[in-house]
């Protein structure tokens, strides 16, 4: 199966448009956007998905949400609203098995997710 693409992005082996980066997370532009603003927020530590969050690594969720707030503000969508989604497992649509959140905004999405 090979190494996940996000690990290569984190190491800068694959170029990406970076909106935010710190020691814990990186936020990049999604190359297949589902909304006018579509950012992926990825922890640098490899965690497969939310099922693998535990007492030792759970603080990463705070870092992810703080990054989401900052990026949404910088991209001008924080006031009108945005959606923050993560997929857990194949049936939920997870295709890259490294925890990441989709920050979507820049349009009215309505209340239904699917």
Tell me the domains of the chain and their CATH numbers. Answer: 5-105 (3.30.428.10)
Q: How confident is the model at residue 3 (pLDDT cuts 50, 70, 90)?
A: confident
Token output for 83: 């959606």
Query: Is 46 one of the catalytic residues?
Result: no
> If DSSP codes are grouped into helix, strand and coil, which group holds residue 92?
helix
Q: What pLDDT, on a 0 to 100 scale, did the predictor assign at position 2?
A: 60
- Residue 4's pLDDT is 86
pLDDT tier at 111, thresholds 50, 70, 90: confident
Which token pair is 100? 């990441």
E strand map for the chain? 18-21, 25-29, 37-43, 82-85, 101-105
Out of 46, 65, 98, 100, pick the active-site residue.
100
Averaged confidence pLDDT in the chain: 95
Mean pLDDT of 3-32: 95
Q: Which residues contact 80 (CB under 8 A, 6 or more apart)?
A: 105
**Mean per-residue pLDDT, 49-77:** 98
Is pTM, for the whole model, over 0.75? yes
| Contact of 18 with 94, CB cutoff 8 Å | no
């Amino acid at each position: 199966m090979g190494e996940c693409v996000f690990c290569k992005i984190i190491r800068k082996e694959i170029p990406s448009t970076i909106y935010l980066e710190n020691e814990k997370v990186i936020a990049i532009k999604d190359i297949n956007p589902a909304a006018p603003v579509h950012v992926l927020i990825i922890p640098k530590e490899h965690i497969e998905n939310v099922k693998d969050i535990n007492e030792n690594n759970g603080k990463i969720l705070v870092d992810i949400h703080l990054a989401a707030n900052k990026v949404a503000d910088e991209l001008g969508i924080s006031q009108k609203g945005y959606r923050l989604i993560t997929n857990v497992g194949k049936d939920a649509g997870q295709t890259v098995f490294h925890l990441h959140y989709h920050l979507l905004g820049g349009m009215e999405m309505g209340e239904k997710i699917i």
